[in-house]
Amino acid sequence: MKDITVIGAGVVGCAIARELSRYDLDIAVIDKNEDIAEGISKANSGIIHGGYNEKKGTLKAKLNLEGNEMMDELASKLQFPFKRNGALVLAFSEDELKRVKELKTNGEEIGVKGLEILNKEEVLNLEKNINKDVLGALYVKSSGIVSPYEMTLAFGENAVENGVEFILGQGVIDIKKENEVYEISLEDGTALKSKIIINAAGLGGGFLNNLVSKVKYEINPVKGEYCLFDKVAGTLCEKTLFQVPSELSKGVLVTPTVDGNLLVGPNAKSSKSIETSREGIDEILDKSKKTMKDIPVDRVLNTFSGLRPKVSGGDFIIEEAKDAKNFINVIGIDSPGLTAAPAIAKYVVNLVSNNINLNEKENFKETRTKMVRMSELSIEEKNKLIAKNPSYGKMVCKCEFVTEGEIIDSIKRPLGATTIDGVKRRTRAMMGGCQGGGCIIPISMILSKELGIDISEVNKNSKSSTVVGFKED
């Protein structure tokens, strides 16, 4: 019997689990994927939004602002990469200039600090590669960038260190309630009993709610496609460059990433498919020229897409189901859900406290130590580490300078990698110029050895995605 079960191991689910792990509770996190951050949390812009665009009085406005303000301390304690690089909302017409002034007023009413209107000269002094047709911009000094999957991993690993159990690779197929206890049926035929369920299942949030409540929700996926450029292109701008937002999205942006690449996107199309399209990629590249005319398309490393879980009404839905006590919905968490995630976690804990006594642990571990990155160490530090553990002297990914020692560490850590993509998110192996062409087989061999499985059982990201696909006699 679990006290609390969180369904969904994205950034919101992991942030909730970590916040709940402060208390003497038996907690489980369930996710249908083989790893955490395999859904919405691995494929988004990685922007920590200032919050100027949200509607006053909404949960989005409140939790965006609170989450943004928590980010520096969290990044320090949990050691995930975060940079408060600032953002510019660019105006290219008098109407757009009027709109950015309205956004400044809106943001200030919400409580966003550090908003400033810049003229053309001031904008070009900050970012020389912006389209010279720019007339002005809203400067959002509190905006930042983060690695969304590394942030999720930081929350998840710290939750495990504080006693949370993760059950991965098992989708929820049914939920029944009997005598105030929920029974959660999993794909493998097993069942888990829990006093409280927190539904943070992203695109699956409507399905789970509808299993237990007569108040039905429908999740409407909106696809956004992206182009990821190499680190040469990553020097084109320092700040996140937004266009004036629309009702559907914040528009196509151009931004550096915390790892030094350049990211362009997304568009916004109603779709359940995560496949990228030629038309979609052409659309975002064409729209990005409004921001920056000379983006070098020959520096594109990869394209990808993600789905945003929109609900009618437009605001986050974070509440106990009205006809299902102890079933707490956290659904419709689209943008700015990444920014808001730690604040959502505190909000959910407050809801939980209405139904169960929360006693703080004396031994809660507030901090988490990140993986060693050989590429970040000095020569002296590298030599010292290699002398202690020679596997750190064996280069595996030559594009991103990732060693065997780092890959082994990514597998052995709390919530360690069990798939190729799991290693990729934890180490950046396969994220360079060859996109894994030179190291996917060596990494598969390391996974095979460390997990005690045949290389034919090593998967890219799911049970049906074998990398090698044959078994040696």
DSSP 3-state assignment of 288? helix
Tokens of 243: 């266009």
The token pair that represents 82 in the structure block = 């975060």
- List beta partners, residue 270: 222
Instruction: Sort strands 191-199 and 181-186 into parallel, antiparallel or unpaired.
Output: antiparallel
- What is the DSSP-derived secondary structure letter of residue 31? E
The backbone torsions φ and ψ at residue 394, rounded to the nearest 5 degrees and listed phi first, read -105, 105
Q: Tokens standing for 121? A: 């000269």
Enzyme catalytic residues: 49
* Rounded Cα–Cα distance for residues 53 and 226 (Å): 21
Nearest residue to 424 (alpha-carbon basis) of 390, 445, 405, 400? 400
Q: Where are the beta strands (DSSP E) in 164-299?
A: 165-168, 172-178, 181-186, 191-199, 220-229, 240-243, 253-256, 262-265, 269-270
| Alpha-carbon gap, residue 406 to 448, rounded angstroms | 16
Residue 244 identity: V
192 Cβ contact list (under 8 Å, min separation 6): 2, 5, 28, 30, 167, 183, 184, 186
Question: Are 373 and 382 within 8 A, CB to CB?
Answer: no
Q: Which two tokens stand for residue 86?
A: 């600032």
Nearest Cα residue to 424 out of 396, 452, 450: 396
CA dihedral 295, 224, 330, 186 (to 10 degrees): -120
